[in-house]
Chain A
Amino acid sequence: MSWLDKAASETQITHRHRLWLYVLAGLVMIFLMLPTLIVIPMSFSESQYLEFPPREWSLRWYRNYFGSVSWMQATATSFKAGILTMIVSTTFGTMAAYGLHTSRFRWTGPVVALLLTPIIVPVILVGIGVFYAYVRLGLVNTLTGIVLAHSMLAIPLVVMVVSSALKSFDMNQELVARSLGASRPRAFFLVTLPQIRFSVITGAVLSFLTSFDEVIVALFVSGGPNSTLTRNMFAALRDQIDPTIAAISTLVVLLTSALLALSQLFGKRES
């Protein structure tokens, strides 16, 4: 009797009878991974026309990218925006999560709800709203403008991640520290923060990626020398298929994976 005729689940169905299910699941998994995986070899193709597998390999599109002033400028803007967003939203978000968790006021619920609204509001509405406000505030096409808007989008993520960490943190530890003479900030930085640091780091990584990947708001409020990478990529996609974007995509995938792997690593060490 092969494994195909063995019972596959509690209902005694055999593997043979649901082979189609395995095939379907496999195909769906391939569907999910295909685009990400196929971009990478394509970026090393010599040809102008995207073919797979590439007939000739080259670094042409990477040279194109690194040699282009406008792509480099956009990349710098995206990094600056991402890092500043990460700093602003992680700081503000952690402060808010900690403050709201410890103060236990009656209005905490509505405040948390307010901080989480950016996830619910359709991004296009946020985009044109921010644009409308920025025109009046003179913040269109400025780095400050992008960072403020992106931080707003990232704050809910930080608040959620840090709040859930605080929920499982025993606040009595802080009380102990304070009864031993530590001030509240000292108790927070020496006792609480080290123990919730994985969540704070996760929140920081998520904020960076939120900003780095964000398209719609950037489309409206970034421009000129302060165009983000995503804005330029979007513009390029609309015009023609430029293989340079495959090279950029590959680099973005690598960066994202590295960041996520890094945050996982921190998590392992903590637990």
Chain B
Amino acid sequence: MTGAEPNAVGLRRDAFLERLALFGLGGPAVLLVFVTMVLPVGWLFWLSFLDDSGALSLEHYRRMIEQPSYGRTFRTTFEISVLTTAICVALGYPLAYVLSQLPRRAANLCMIAVMLPFWTSLLVRTYAWLVLLQRRGIVNTWGIKLGLWDEPLTLVNNLNGTLIGMVHIMLPFLVLPVYGSMRAIDRDFLKAAANLGAGPVRAFWQVFLPLSMPGLVAGIIIVFILCLGFYVTPAVLGGGKVTMVANRIATDIEVFFNWGAASALGVVLFALTIALLYVAARLVGLNRVLGGDDP
């Protein structure tokens, strides 16, 4: 025993050192994330609590509450996010439903339609909508030709354009988790509901919808969170008339060089995101929201 004891200690130490070395493999990634994200964002966080003279204060946050222009920005952001999420649910839920009822092979084929925009560069799509929605653009020309409306509609450089663009970008984020959730539903429940006398409508509302809820909630939250931070789409399709929080932050930096104000806005945006993620984690589990996989 006396000989084995030091050997065991040595082995344990070797094992520990090896684990430490393996742990160290994470070093470069951690360092990079720390230097390019944690430090700068922490810095901004600090800046947001300094006033123009460099003293600690809540000046920027107070201004955010007092100045009506900030209130407008937040209201616009909130309204657009709610509307986008609602439209995504209205369009995405039925699509996911139909896809979930198709045979696997056909559903996978249709999934290409969902994944195509998902994989197309955001700028390319924004550009495409800019072109499609012009006064003399395709949507207006065809709409009038088909007799859907008489006068060219103003579809771009305003809220409409922003909404159309954002719904288009966010739709896959809603469809994917909802579809996953629906696929996982055991169809025998519906059979049982029908057997017990529920009509199709009742079976849907009382059985199918509640069972698909986790995916729907996850989709709604992820869409809403991502909407809050939108920058490119409102900037291009809003034609300068739609100011969301991110646009306001950029303007504060690019035009006014007001780091404190921009940082304060950023901090509020971040805090909202974290709060929503927390709610999501409590409701359906964080994995489902971030990874979209079914637990």
Contact = CB atoms under 8 A, between A and B. Distances in A.
Interface of A: 8-13, 17, 21-22, 24-25, 28-29, 31-36, 38-39, 42, 49-52, 88, 91-93, 95-96, 98-100, 102-105, 107-108, 111, 114-133, 148-149, 151-152, 155, 159-160, 184, 209, 212-213, 215-216, 219-220, 230, 233-234, 237-238, 241, 245-246, 249, 252-253, 256-257, 260
B138 A115 contact: no
30 contacts: A11-B193, A17-B200, A29-B113, A31-B168, A34-B128, A35-B117, A51-B136, A95-B28, A96-B30, A100-B23, A105-B23, A114-B33, A115-B33, A122-B229, A124-B246, A124-B266, A125-B41, A128-B44, A132-B40, A152-B37, A213-B121, A213-B122, A216-B231, A219-B250, A230-B121, A230-B123, A234-B236, A237-B130, A241-B134, A249-B124
A24 B291 CA distance: 28
A233 B190 contact: no
Given A13-B200, A28-B95, A133-B43, A120 B25 contact: no
A10 to B, nearest CB: 4
Contact of A233 (B38, B92, B117, B127): B127
Contacts of B198: 11
B236 A32 contact: no
Contacts, number: 271
A114 B134 CA distance: 44
B36 A39 contact: no
Query: Number of contact residues on B: which range applies?
Result: 35 or more
Nearest to A148: B36
Contacts of A21: 94, 97-98
B194 interface: yes
Main SS of the interface on chain B? helix
Contact of B40 (A115, A129, A237): A129
A155 B29 contact: yes
Given A111-B26, A125-B269, A237-B130, 15 more contacts: A10-B187, A28-B95, A32-B114, A32-B168, A34-B132, A99-B22, A100-B25, A115-B33, A117-B38, A129-B40, A132-B259, A149-B36, A215-B231, A216-B246, A249-B123
